[in-house]
Structure 1
Amino acid sequence: MVENRPLLNIATHLVLIIGVAIVVFPVYVAFIASTQAPGTFFRGVTPLLPGPAMIENYTTMLTDGMSTSGAPPLWLMLVNSTWMAVIVTVGKISISILSAYAIVYFRFPLRALCFWIVFVTLMLPVEVRIIPTFAVVSNLGLLNSYLGLTLPLIASATATFLFRQFFLTVPDELTEAARVDGAGPVKFFIDILLPLSRTNIAALSVIMFIYGWVQYLWPLLVTTDSRYYTVVMGIKRMAAYADQQPQWNLVMAAVILAMLPPVLIVIFMQRLFVKGLVETEK
């Protein structure tokens, strides 16, 4: 029996409202700042109501960018970030699900050791691997290229581990039934395991897309050509360049536009994302 406690319900909702306000308020301030004229920020006070320059600021960022910061038009950086996020997502999911399938369903020497070697990479900070990875990419001539941006990031021990744990929950009777029906390894993987993994793939795709979208350190190292700048790199260059006052209205317009793709991905994939994280019945 669930007790009806009005005061507890009010307190719970109040905490939720306060939490949402704390999270949303900085985004609201960024949006308000993106609608203001440049001179507004020289007074040292940010208004809390929209300004008159919204269309002008967003149009300027999308079409012209900020040449004084060395950043290209925002549309190009958004395209680069999208390509990077999509390639990283597809690469991580493809490699992880295949490696987990091999580890669980194929019997080969040192199978457990191979898995634990992959799993141990979770313990290594990015900084430990970034210098040798950069050396390899440089020696292969992949600097200032989409391959250089994405190839070193597509391996994922986390996704491999999660897919392995899911495959271990698939009943052995399903595997035996598929074998009796004459399904080989490829057909079993495509016709049975992939459909069963749909929600897991969706949940991991959202996580991996955001992971690829917000990358900053790696693109900063491997790109010196502005044609390959990602949107996170561009925002950093706009917000911190020497001898000039940042144009915060344009910077915040770029921030809002950069935030939209991952937010839309989460909104449209929300049902599958939540289901993939909490579903226990396979």
Structure 2
Amino acid sequence: MIERRPVATFVAHLVLMIGVLIVAFPVWLTFVASTHTAQEIAQSHPLSLLPGAHALESYRTALFGGTTSMGSQIPAAAPMMLTSLISALVISLGKITISLLSAFAIVYFRFPFRSVVFWMIFITLMLPVEVRIGPTYEVVSHLGMLNSYAGLTVPLIASATATFLFRQFFLTVPDELVEAARIDGAGPLRFFKDVLLPLSTTSIAALFVIQFIYGWNQYLWPLLVTTDESMYPVVMGIKRLIAGEAYTEWNVVMATAMLAMLPPALVVIVMQKWFVKGLVDSEK
């Protein structure tokens, strides 16, 4: 029997509502700023919390670029968003693919120093990005991968975290399934494709959401390996809008920020069910 406590329920809902307001207010303020002109933003102290009448103009300029009324040259966000999308997809799918295969090999294949290989992969979690970024940049530069999608994505597709998570899940798969597949004549790749992949669907979905957002929000690595503006991701584009002009068009900056939030938010919304299930499934 579930005991109902009206006071506790009210307090819990109040805390949740306050949390939602704290998280949503900056997003709302960003949207409101994107609907005003830069002059209105500069002259309003404080900024109005109601949307303005220039939303279409701001988002058109942010998406397709152009020259503003103040003479600022705005780069188009559409190509930068495409670069970010390609990079995020390659990074997320690459991480999942490599992690699945490496975890499969570590769990189901018997080879010398198997445990050593796993711990060598796992110990990379203890190395900060700043420690590895210099040697990684040197290798990418020597291979001629600067200003390319390969340079943006290949050094980031290995994931010790994902390998560890898939390894832990594969260890929970009953040995009876392995024996049944072997009796049916299934080879390693067929067992991987027909048994392990379907069982790993929710984990793959959860990791895809996390890794897509990770790839989409990359800033430090693209800042090092890209000098061609055509290869800038949208996060670098926002920084360029703020630092690239003497007069900052804050309405366009906010519109670009709102556009940059849409793909990750869409991925989370579409895959929310699988994402939550992959994180809290009691069988994992």
- Which bracket does the TM-score occupy, shorter chain normalised? over 0.9
8 A contact 1:144–1:224 mirrored in 2: yes
1:236-279 deviations in Å (ceiling 9; x for gaps) = 1112236x131100000000000000000000000000111111
C-alpha deviation, 1:44, in angstroms: 4.6
Structure 1's consecutive aligned runs of 4 or more residues displaced over 2 angstroms after TM superposition are: 65-72
1:255 aligns with 2:260: no
Gaps of 5+ in 1: none
Q: Which residue of 2 aligns with 1:134?
A: 137
Q: Which residue of 2 aligns with 1:38?
A: 38
Counterparts of 1:87 and 1:62, CA distance in 2: 23
Q: Which residue of 2 aligns with 1:210?
A: 213
Counterparts of 1:66 and 1:151, CA distance in 2: 36
Amino acid of the structure 2 residue aligned with 1:251: V
TM-score by length of 2: 0.96
8 A contact 1:72–1:227 mirrored in 2: no
Amino acid of the structure 2 residue aligned with 1:166: F
Number of residues of Structure 1 aligned to a counterpart in Structure 2: 281
Counterparts of 1:196 and 1:65, CA distance in 2: 49
Residue 187 (structure 2) aligned to one of 167, 184, 187: 184
Counterparts of 2:236 and 2:89, CA distance in 1: 17
1:260-279 equivalent positions in 2, closer than 5 A: 260-279=262-281
C-alpha deviation, 1:37, in angstroms: 1.2
1:140-199 deviations in Å (ceiling 9; x for gaps) = 010000000000000000000000000000000100010011001011001110111111
Q: Which residue of 2 aligns with 1:246?
A: 248
Gaps of 5+ in 2: none
TM-score by length of 1: 0.97
After alignment, is 1-10 or 54-63 more displaced? Answer: 1-10
Q: Which residue of 1 aligns with 2:54?
A: 53
Q: Which residue of 1 aligns with 2:105?
A: 102
SS at match of 1:183: coil
Counterparts of 1:123 and 1:70, CA distance in 2: 43
8 A contact 1:35–1:50 mirrored in 2: yes
C-alpha deviation, 1:207, in angstroms: 0.4
C-alpha deviation, 1:61, in angstroms: 1.1
Counterparts of 2:211 and 2:53, CA distance in 1: 37
8 A contact 1:71–1:226 mirrored in 2: no
C-alpha deviation, 1:35, in angstroms: 0.3
Q: Which residue of 2 aligns with 1:125?
A: 128
Amino acid of the structure 1 residue aligned with 2:283: E
SS at match of 1:165: helix
Question: Compared with structure 1, are the counterparts of its residues 48 and 130 closer, same or farther at alpha carbon in structure 2 (3 Å cutoff)?
Answer: same
1:217-236 deviations in Å (ceiling 9; x for gaps) = 00000001000000000001
C-alpha deviation, 1:42, in angstroms: 2.0
8 A contact 1:70–1:226 mirrored in 2: no
Counterparts of 2:242 and 2:66, CA distance in 1: 13
- Identity of counterpart residues, as a percentage? 62
8 A contact 1:66–1:238 mirrored in 2: no
8 A contact 2:72–2:247 mirrored in 1: no
**What's the C-alpha RMSD, in Å, of the aligned pairs?**
1.4
Counterparts of 2:110 and 2:282, CA distance in 1: 27
Question: Compared with structure 1, are the counterparts of its residues 136 and 273 closer, same or farther at alpha carbon in structure 2 (3 Å cutoff)?
Answer: same
